[in-house]
Structure 1
Amino acid sequence: MSLVPWWGWVLLGLSFFWMLGAHNRVVALRTAIISAWSQVDGVLQARLQALAALRAAVEPRLAAEQAALDAVAAAHAQLAQAAEAMRPRPTDEDGPAALARAEAALAPALVRLSALIEQHADWRHEEAVARPQQVLQELAPRWQFARQMFNDAAAAYNAAIEQFPTRLLKRLFRFRRAGSF
């Protein structure tokens, strides 16, 4: 028995265990993205509920501002749809981009609605209006933190699948870039 076949088997075994370790590392990073998405989704659902409650509380009183209410409703629906589309596969690259677009559409509509509410000082003290506004304010830092956690997890995953030699496994195991928002 010669040394060449023996070294060949050793190299093959080392390659196999390296590939197994690299695969497990990338899968763990992808799992971190999914875990971070659950945090984002929880905050997002709470925001959507608070926004729906706020809109329901002021809608009868702001009949003259139907355009503002329609903008909030459309942005709310777009955000809910983007979140629903992202739930099955939070590691896809397109999902966070759609969520970011929906969030960008919601921001000016929410600012306009808040300005309309501020014009009516007596509404701010009513529980039906004050409570959803308070919830939205309390969720703002949690939303930023959850988004940052998701983006950090996606960046770590993307860096791992682009690094050599792990990049060699990208096609074999169909690792795709994760999106961020």
Structure 2
Amino acid sequence: MILTVFLVIFICVSSVITLYLISLYNQLVSLRNRFKNAFSQIEVQLKRRHDLIPNLVETAKAYMSHERDTLMAVTEARNASAACLNVAAAEPGSAQSIVHLGQTEGRLNRAMDKLNISLEAYPDLRASETMMQLNYEMTNTENRIAFARQFFNDSVMNYNTFRQKFPTVLMAEAFGHGGDATLLEFADSEQIQNTPVVSFI
């Protein structure tokens, strides 16, 4: 009789512990999937930005024949950022790829800043209908990037906070969640981080 009571208690306690561990595991998976999905929104917006830049460069080329170095710098920075985006999109949980993406986007943003300064010397270009449309699209895209990045970083923070809490921290590594996810920071890019406004006017 006593053995049966102990057996029932043991089964009940084991069941509760098992259910709790399953709940922890499922929550970790859910939070990881949430930040990976949030990264896919950043990917969409960065790809849109990368697709707009060649149009901007082509439009500017007709007016800015003496600014070849500036246009080349923008193109090279755009290509490097696009390559890093592909790597990061394959594994948004990789700290190295996220940091590298942030650095290349920062370089792209600095190149775009130089281009924007150069455009000041070309009022006809700034006033052209094509450039005004590109300006509108770029501004819209930059704002979307800022919001998508904030959502991604919020999702990463939620994942990291849950993973670091007791008792999850004791089990996270065994569940395949050994390290914190990395926030996406655009190096030296206050324009993007502070909801930028791109303006050629």
TM class, shorter-chain normalised?
over 0.9
Using the alignment, how far apart are the partners of 1:114 and 1:152 within structure 2? Answer: 31
Written as runs of structure 1 = structure 2, the 5 A alignment for 1:151-162 is: 151-162=153-164
The equivalent position to 2:129 in structure 1, one of 114, 127, 130, is 127
2:165 to 163, 166, 169: 163
Q: How many residues align?
A: 181
Name the aligned partner's letter for residue 177 of structure 1.
D
| 1:145 alignment counterpart | 147
CA distance in 2, matches of 1:118, 1:130: 14
Distance 2:140 2:173 in 1: 43
Aligned to 1:177: 180
Task: Look up the SS of the partner of 1:174 in the other structure.
Answer: coil
TM-score scaled by length of structure 2: 0.83
Aligned-residue Cα RMSD (Å) equals 1.6
Deviations 1:50-107 (A, max 9, x none): 1121012213443322221221112101210111011122122222211210121012
| C-alpha contact 1:68 1:112 (8 A) present in aligned 2 | yes
- Taking the TM superposition and a 5 Å limit, the aligned residue runs for 1:14-163 are 14-163=16-165
| Cα distance in structure 2, aligned partners of 1:79 and 1:24 | 34
List alignment gaps of at least 5 residues for structure 1. Answer: none
State the AA in 2 paired with 1:151.
N
Q: Which runs of 4+ in 1 moved over 6 A?
A: none
**Unmatched 5+ stretches in structure 2:** 185-201
Deviation at 1:164?
0.9
Task: Measure the CA separation in 1 of the matches of 2:62 and 2:17.
Answer: 67
The aligned counterpart of 1:12 is 14
Give the letter for the 1:124 counterpart: R
Q: Percent identical across equivalent pairs?
A: 24
